[in-house]
Chains A and B, each alone.
Chain A
Amino acid sequence: MSIATEVDLSKTQAVPLQSLGAGEIAEVSSVTGSNHEVARLAEMGLRTGMKVSVSRGGITSIVQLLNGSRLCVRTCSQLEILVTPIQ
């Protein structure tokens, strides 16, 4: 599923990525953790400011990036991805 680029950007409070449910769209507010992990995610396209759509939620989730990539992502105590749901 492609992600709409022109959407209502009225934002709510940032929440952890894994709390999003399937079908929700959000903007990445921050990626914090070890430089290694943050850089790795950024190289794959998951970085602050990117819009993502969640295909499967949960501890291990599937997110689709604006560029079409689908990533399976599990965060941990040393890597936190906060997103702001877009309503």
Chain B
Amino acid sequence: MNQDDSANLTSARVAVLGNPNTGKSTLFNALTGIRQQTGNYPGVTVEKRTGLVKIGATYFELTDLPGTYSLAPRSPDEMLTVNVLLGEEPAEQKPDLILCVVDANNLERNLFLVSQILDLHQPMIIAVNMTDIATRNGIEIELESLQKLLGVPVVGIQAKRRVGIDALKSAMANAISKSPDIEHDPFSDELKQRIKRLKAACPDDCQLKRFAVTRMLFDTDGFMTDQLKSQVDGKVLATLKTEQAQMQSEGHSIAESESHARYNWITKHLDSFVKRPTQIHQTTLTDRLDAWLTHPFWGLLFAGLTMVILFQLVFWAAEPASNLIDGFNGVLATAVNSVVPEGTLNSLLIDGLINGVGSVLIFLPQILLLFFILAVLEDTGYLSRAAFLLDKYLSRIGLSGITLFPLLSSFACAIPGIMATRVIKDRRERLITMLIAPLMSCSARLPVYVLLIAAFVPSKSYLGGLIGLQGLTMFGMYMVGIITAVVIAWVLRKTILKTGTSSFVLELPTYKLPSLRNVWQRMFDGGWAFVRDAGTMIVVVTILVWAAAYFPQNNETTLPAPLKNDLATIAAHQTTLDSLDAPESSIDVANLEEEISLAQNRLDAYQLEHSYLGRTGKLIEPLVTPLGWDWRIGSAAIASFPAREVIVSTMGVIFGLGADTDEESDSLKSSLASATWEGTDRPLFTLPVALSIMVFFALCAQCVSTLAVIRRETNSYRWPIFTFTYMTILAYVAALLTFQISNQLF
């Protein structure tokens, strides 16, 4: 505990942990209120959530650790909890108090983790949560007896209703720096002897003798031994080998020994502090709901409806809010335009900064909605039921049922989809889902498909008008992404994220009403994490692409003669328009404005062609020619790196129609249809070229926001770089094959 002399206040660090679904986060929110911060632990994908609560004259800094069933980690992410408890995590000090949250309805299983934490012999307090539900289920818990057995304070609470919070705070203040009253020892005599021998082999200065040797004795794959070996020395490791070999030779499974010992200890004492209903086959609300919601037919129907609603909400309900943000950006741009004169600063502010910030905020409604829905589904206990129902289908491609929601969300937008992978607990499975999520055809691909299909795919129909070729092509584009995702998931599982055929175990918690505070907090955390971490990268990249398209600026003296005429036309017409006094003037204002617009569009197209972006497009032309593309399509593809849909407006500029064109624009469609390879009359856009572009965009990673979110969620640059590389190569090869094959066919 630290003393702050200046303010005469003290501060203490509290680690909050417990099994998943114990209401740990609800309690954390109830204790800390809005005084919370989120961030990331270095090197792992785990989010760090801390909060402050003042109890008396002491500030308690609470750290909400990820839910866990045990302190036997098998990965760096899981090791984090142990490291925080031991004070081994960089920039983290050992906690002054451990607050362990347990579910009153499932004490037997929850006490397994408690028993492991007690091995640390650190100051600890236990909050028995959801006592109201336990009472309703006929479970009586004698907290005093439990406290006596464990030797640490035990407080009964209802975190959602904030019952017992004051008592818990008071107990926390008293528990600081008080180690457990008794030495916890749940093991059989044989295991006690083994632990004793290992402790004896430890160096005298080892701080964690008991905890370290216990964890190493039951270590099944060497991970924990590797992590803790710095605490001990070679002598302990040699003794460990001997003890483990003896255990196995005597027929004791190392994997099950610890569980057998701790659960036996729990079962032995359970009746002394828990009274459960004597009536057997008691049907609970969860039983009744599960009869429907996990039913092979009705359950699937409900899961299907839930997903349709989720998809619709993310896809459609967020649209008005996104449009509002877009409209606000337009108003802001107009305001800047009226204050800042035309030129570099004006373009930087409008096309770079406002556009960049706008492209971050425009995703926010979708992200908030998705997190709201997922939080409700998870908090009620339904998400794991849906995962159960869908698991048998997704397991065929090596994924589990829980991956469906993130993947489905990705059809609306990969960004919330990738953030939704937080519901996946298995690290490798979460990574695979993140890496294939961008292959789902998101809404940003739609403008590309709509424009090119309408312009180049014949409007034929089959089966009496039931199936149209254009609709079929659109469906095909979606299928390209889905099938590729299945193949990539399989390849990843067999190669860099090798997991073999894996099992799937997921707890199905009892159903309960969601905590609105939790739902709000998760929604806010998700949205803020996106804006804070991914937003910065998106804005930077958008400004870089703007600069590439803006610089170098054309020199008026070196412009070709027709464009010099355009400049003169603009200047002359503008002077005429400025000199007009009355709207009823005989001059055709609309015609003048139209001529200015056309002249400006030609100048913009020339500017883009000679910008760094246009030059790069020409540089890569030999690379994209095999795809049927020329430098103009190549430039548009590069310009669409911040977001795929940008290709439509970029093509509008390149083909002299201005940046305001959209996928429904007839003039853009006809411009594309009449475009030819430069210096020839050979059509540039043909059906094979259109198909090649669509396939490229179906598979490419042209979305800086997606890459920024992958970086944020994996806490590493490695995975976004990997995603960009594999998707670009894949998109290139697929577009090449599409063009070359379809060129032979059509």
In the assembled complex, the Cα of A1 lies from the Cα of B285 at a distance in Å of 10
B243-266 interface with A by 8 A CB criterion: 253-256, 258-260, 263
What residues of B have a CB within 8 angstroms of the CB of A79 in the complex? 503
Picked from A1, A43, A65, A67, the residue with its CB within 8 Å of the CB of B282 is A1
A13: Cβ under 8 A from any B Cβ: no
What residues of B have a CB within 8 angstroms of the CB of A31 in the complex? 256
In the assembled complex, the Cα of A58 lies from the Cα of B253 at a distance in Å of 28
B498-531 interface with A by 8 A CB criterion: 500-509
Verify B507–A69 contact, CB threshold 8 A.
Answer: yes
What residues of A have a CB within 8 angstroms of the CB of B106 in the complex? 67-69
How many B residues have CB within 8 A of the partner chain?
50
What residues of A have a CB within 8 angstroms of the CB of B388 in the complex? 56, 60, 62, 72
In the assembled complex, the Cα of A77 lies from the Cα of B72 at a distance in Å of 24
Verify A36–B220 contact, CB threshold 8 A.
Answer: yes
Return the chain A residue nearest B389 by Cβ. A60
Verify A43–B72 contact, CB threshold 8 A.
Answer: yes
Verify B112–A43 contact, CB threshold 8 A.
Answer: yes
What residues of B have a CB within 8 angstroms of the CB of A43 in the complex? 69-70, 72, 112, 259
Q: Which label, helix, strand, loop or mixed, suits the secondary structure of the A interface?
A: mixed
The digit string for A49-73, where 1 denotes a CB below 8 A from any CB of B, is: 0000001101110100101111111
Taking A36-B74, A60-B401, A78-B500 as contacts, is the C-beta distance between A45 and B108 under 8 angstroms? yes
Verify B280–A2 contact, CB threshold 8 A.
Answer: yes
What residues of B have a CB within 8 angstroms of the CB of A74 in the complex? 391-392, 395, 400, 503-505
Return the chain B residue nearest A76 by Cβ. B501
Verify A71–B508 contact, CB threshold 8 A.
Answer: yes
Return the chain B residue nearest A4 by Cβ. B280
B94: Cβ under 8 A from any A Cβ: no
What residues of B have a CB within 8 angstroms of the CB of A47 in the complex? 256, 259-260, 263
B11: Cβ under 8 A from any A Cβ: no
In the assembled complex, the Cα of A47 lies from the Cα of B109 at a distance in Å of 12
B718: Cβ under 8 A from any A Cβ: no
In the assembled complex, the Cα of A69 lies from the Cα of B384 at a distance in Å of 13
Return the chain A residue nearest B510 by Cβ. A70
Central interface residue in A4, A48, A74, A79, by most chain B CB within 10 Å? A74
A11: Cβ under 8 A from any B Cβ: no
B252 → chain A closest CB, angstroms: 11
Verify A72–B503 contact, CB threshold 8 A.
Answer: no
Central interface residue in B253, B254, B260, by most chain A CB within 10 Å? B253
B185: Cβ under 8 A from any A Cβ: no
In the assembled complex, the Cα of A33 lies from the Cα of B503 at a distance in Å of 10
What residues of B have a CB within 8 angstroms of the CB of A60 in the complex? 388, 391-392, 395, 401, 504
Picked from B109, B258, B286, B503, the residue with its CB within 8 Å of the CB of A78 is B503
What residues of B have a CB within 8 angstroms of the CB of A75 in the complex? 503
A38: Cβ under 8 A from any B Cβ: yes
Central interface residue in A5, A48, A62, by most chain B CB within 10 Å? A62
In the assembled complex, the Cα of A38 lies from the Cα of B290 at a distance in Å of 27
The digit string for A24-49, where 1 denotes a CB below 8 A from any CB of B, is: 00000001011111111111111110
B332-374 interface with A by 8 A CB criterion: none
In the assembled complex, the Cα of A34 lies from the Cα of B500 at a distance in Å of 11
Picked from A2, A3, A33, A70, the residue with its CB within 8 Å of the CB of B507 is A70
What residues of A have a CB within 8 angstroms of the CB of B108 in the complex? 45, 67-68
In the assembled complex, the Cα of A41 lies from the Cα of B503 at a distance in Å of 10
B281: Cβ under 8 A from any A Cβ: yes
Verify A44–B392 contact, CB threshold 8 A.
Answer: no
A55 → chain B closest CB, angstroms: 6
What residues of A have a CB within 8 angstroms of the CB of B255 in the complex? 35-36, 38-39, 42
B283: Cβ under 8 A from any A Cβ: yes
Verify B281–A36 contact, CB threshold 8 A.
Answer: no
Verify A72–B281 contact, CB threshold 8 A.
Answer: no
Picked from B74, B105, B502, the residue with its CB within 8 Å of the CB of A76 is B502
Return the chain B residue nearest A58 by Cβ. B392
Verify B221–A35 contact, CB threshold 8 A.
Answer: yes
What residues of B have a CB within 8 angstroms of the CB of A55 in the complex? 290, 294
In the assembled complex, the Cα of A36 lies from the Cα of B279 at a distance in Å of 37
What residues of A have a CB within 8 angstroms of the CB of B647 in the complex? none
Central interface residue in B254, B255, B507, by most chain A CB within 10 Å? B255
B386-432 interface with A by 8 A CB criterion: 387-388, 391-392, 395, 400-401
What residues of A have a CB within 8 angstroms of the CB of B502 in the complex? 76, 78
B22-40 interface with A by 8 A CB criterion: none
B181: Cβ under 8 A from any A Cβ: no
Taking A73-B503, A73-B505 as contacts, is the C-beta distance between A39 and B283 under 8 angstroms? no
Return the chain B residue nearest A39 by Cβ. B255
A35 → chain B closest CB, angstroms: 3
Verify B508–A38 contact, CB threshold 8 A.
Answer: no
Picked from A56, A70, A72, the residue with its CB within 8 Å of the CB of B387 is A72
A68 → chain B closest CB, angstroms: 5
Central interface residue in A1, A36, A43, by most chain B CB within 10 Å? A43
In the assembled complex, the Cα of A66 lies from the Cα of B501 at a distance in Å of 28
Picked from A39, A41, A59, A72, the residue with its CB within 8 Å of the CB of B508 is A72
What residues of A have a CB within 8 angstroms of the CB of B384 in the complex? 72
B144: Cβ under 8 A from any A Cβ: no
B287: Cβ under 8 A from any A Cβ: yes
Picked from A35, A41, A69, A70, the residue with its CB within 8 Å of the CB of B254 is A35
In the assembled complex, the Cα of A4 lies from the Cα of B281 at a distance in Å of 7
Return the chain B residue nearest A68 by Cβ. B106
Those 4 A-B pairs whose CB atoms lie nearest each other, nearest first: A35-B220, A42-B259, A67-B108, A38-B255
Interface set of B (CB-CB < 8 Å, partner A)? 69-70, 72, 74, 105-106, 108-109, 112, 218, 220-221, 253-256, 258-260, 263, 277, 279-284, 286-287, 290, 294, 296, 384, 387-388, 391-392, 395, 400-401, 500-509
| Apart from the given pairs A2-B277, A72-B387, A72-B391, 14 other A-B contacts in the complex at a CB distance below 8 Å | A36-B74, A37-B503, A39-B220, A39-B255, A39-B258, A42-B256, A69-B507, A70-B508, A72-B508, A73-B503, A73-B504, A74-B505, A76-B502, A79-B503
Q: List 10 A-B contacts (CB under 8 A).
A: A1-B281, A38-B255, A44-B507, A59-B392, A69-B507, A70-B509, A72-B387, A72-B401, A74-B503, A77-B501
